[in-house]
């Protein structure tokens, strides 16, 4: 579960990680009221669950009230990767002397957390990590013992290599590292990131941004965090309640599958075949008819979807259950689009027979994934 910046900073503040003074506005009128009360300069940030906001023009420093009103109105209408802001984060602007990068994330290869630090933070951190790997310090963290003092000292040492760091700033940086690691552990996160972690001209160390990703599987142990869950649209909310995984994309082909790897492979094949996926829904292993029916309903609720591909490989998932779910979902839907179904594995033959016997117009049943992709790309493009 990804958190908005203002939500992540709330957790940072509670964990003892300093952040700028800030306010959250849910509409333009509230934003204007905050701006008039607080005075300038202020940083205005559209709250969108997307990376690269700094380069997308949705983070703006404003220096007078007239500019503030104009920026607030614009940011509530701008979109980033198809998503509009539902809130604005308004912060007291600060003068930055230096920017650092600090994060803890899960290294799936090493099967343990890793602390990442660079003495150069900011919007170009991805390019820095790619072009100059030595500029990014990577310190594996023992999942049981946590950070040790040597690792904390290493971060402080790296921060002062290019330019000496005052003693007070060294102590603040060490505390931030410790508190960020504690937050990562206590909330069972998969990512906590500060970019930039800024040293101001006044000598303060402040987290100017916050990116926090929580492990969905751990949320039952942290019920207080459930209220932070947000959804990009109504379909994502419905998918969560139905127990399936749904992701909105920007194409015209809906995809339903089982297993993230299999679904991603299907998306790649669709793109290679000249199509574009509009969304995908992962019903998971062992899905019964009800889950498939819900997935059909959710995907077809997206009016941009012109054709639907259902590709299921049955292990513990039974083909006849999938077929029943497909037929029930299509029968209940008020939308009629071409549907291609590919079933393989357990009881796939029984499932294909059920689908063929339905005689449903616009329903194509195939055995190979390649044929399924060819058919659905053609259907989405207006072909037969």
Residue 100 sits in the same domain as residue 124: yes
Handedness of CA 304, 308, 311, 316 (dihedral sign): positive
Given this model, what pLDDT does residue 240 score?
80
- Are residue 280 and residue 340 in the same domain, yes or no? yes
Same domain, 251 and 336: yes
- Whether the model pTM is above 0.85: no
Would you say residue 383 has pLDDT above 70?
no
Beta-strand (E) ranges in 26-119?
42-46, 59-62, 79-80, 83-84, 88-92, 96-107, 112-118
Interval 57-62 mean pLDDT: 92
pLDDT of residue 324: 95
The residue from 204, 226, 248 where one domain ends is 226
Q: Taking residues 82-89, report their average pLDDT.
A: 85
Whether the Cβ atoms of residue 324 and residue 354 lie closer than 8 Å to each other:
yes
CA atoms of 307 and 19, how far apart (whole Å) = 47
Per-residue pLDDT of 113-130, as tens digits, reads 999 999 999 877 877 777
Residue at 10 is within a domain: no
Other Cβ atoms less than 10 A from the Cβ of 366: the count is: 19
Banded model confidence at residue 84, pLDDT cuts 50, 70, 90: confident
Total residues belonging to the chain: 384
Say whether both 239 and 368 belong to one domain: yes
pLDDT confidence tier of residue 82, bands split at 50, 70 and 90: low
Same domain, 149 and 255: no
Q: Please report, rounded to a whole number, the percentage of residues in the chain having pLDDT higher than 70.
A: 97
Residues 76 and 101 in one domain: no
Q: How confident is the model over 242-266, as pLDDT tens digits?
A: 888 898 888 999 999 998 888 899 9
Q: What is the mean pLDDT of residues 265-284?
A: 92
Question: Model confidence over 214-238: pLDDT tens digits?
Answer: 998 898 898 888 778 777 677 888 8
Asked if residue 75 belongs to a domain, the reply is yes
Given a cut of 60, is residue 384 above it in pLDDT?
no
In angstroms, the CA 134 to CA 251 distance is 39
Residue at 3 is within a domain: no
Write down which residue in 226, 254, 278 finishes a domain: 226
Q: Any idea what the CATH number is for the domain that residue 79 is in?
A: 3.30.1490.20
Q: What's the whole-number average pLDDT of the chain? A: 92
Domain membership of residue 272 as a residue range: 234-378
Q: 62: which strand partners? A: 42
- Indicate which CATH number applies to the domain containing 131: 3.30.470.20
Q: Same domain, yes or no, for 109 and 206?
A: yes
| Residues 258 and 185 placed together within one structural domain of the fold | no
Q: Which amino acids are annotated catalytic?
A: 101, 193
**262, 265, 271, 274 alpha-carbon torsion, rounded to 10°:** -80
End-to-end CA distance of the chain: 40
Q: Please answer whether residues 15 and 233 qualify as being in contact, where contact means their C-beta atoms are separated by less than 8 angstroms.
A: no
Number of structural domains in the chain: 3
Say if 29 falls within a structural domain. yes
Residue 49 or residue 7, greater confidence: 7
Residues 368, 282 share a domain: yes
User: Are 85 and 18 in contact, with CB atoms under 8 Å apart?
Assistant: no
Q: Is 9 inside a domain boundary?
A: no
In degrees rounded to 5, what are phi and psi of residue 278? -90, -30
């Amino acid at each position: 579960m990804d958190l908005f910046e203002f939500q992540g900073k709330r957790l940072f503040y509670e964990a003892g990680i300093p952040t700028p003074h800030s306010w959250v506005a849910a509409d333009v009128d509230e934003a204007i009221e905050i701006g008039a009360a607080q005075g300038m300069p202020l940083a205005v940030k559209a709250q969108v669950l997307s990376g690269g906001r700094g380069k997308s023009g949705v983070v703006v420093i404003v220096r007078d009230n007239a500019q503030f009103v104009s920026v607030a109105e614009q940011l509530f209408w701008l979109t980033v990767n198809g998503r509009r802001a539902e809130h604005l984060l308004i912060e007291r602007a600060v003068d930055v002397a230096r920017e650092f990068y600090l994060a803890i994330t899960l290294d799936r290869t090493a099967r343990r957390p890793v602390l990442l630090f660079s003495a150069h933070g900011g919007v170009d951190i991805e390019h820095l990590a790619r072009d100059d790997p030595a500029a990014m310090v990577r310190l594996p963290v023992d999942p049981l013992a946590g950070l040790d003092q040597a690792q904390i000292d290493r971060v402080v040492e790296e921060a002062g290599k290019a330019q000496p760091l005052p003693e007070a700033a060294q102590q603040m940086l060490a505390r931030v590292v410790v508190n960020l690691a504690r937050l990562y552990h206590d909330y069972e996160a998969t990512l906590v990131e500060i970019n930039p972690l800024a040293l101001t001209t006044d000598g303060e160390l402040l987290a100017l941004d916050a990116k926090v990703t929580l492990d969905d599987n751990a949320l039952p142990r942290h019920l207080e965090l459930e209220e932070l869950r947000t959804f990009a649209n109504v379909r994502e909310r419905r998918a969560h309640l139905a127990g399936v995984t749904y992701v909105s994309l920007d194409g015209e082909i809906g995809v339903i599958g089982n297993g993230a790897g299999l679904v991603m492979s299907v998306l790649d094949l669709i793109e290679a075949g000249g199509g574009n996926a509009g969304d995908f829904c992962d019903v998971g292993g062992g899905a019964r008819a009800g889950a498939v029916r819900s997935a059909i309903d959710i995907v077809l609720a997206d009016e941009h979807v012109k054709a639907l591909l259902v590709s299921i490989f049955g292990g513990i998932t039974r083909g006849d259950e999938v077929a029943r779910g497909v037929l029930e979902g299509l029968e209940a839907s008020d939308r009629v689009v071409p549907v291609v179904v590919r079933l393989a594995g357990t009881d796939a033959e029984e499932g294909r027979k059920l689908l063929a016997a339905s005689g449903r117009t616009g329903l194509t049943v195939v055995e190979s994934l390649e044929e399924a992709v060819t058919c659905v790309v053609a259907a989405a493009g207006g072909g037969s």
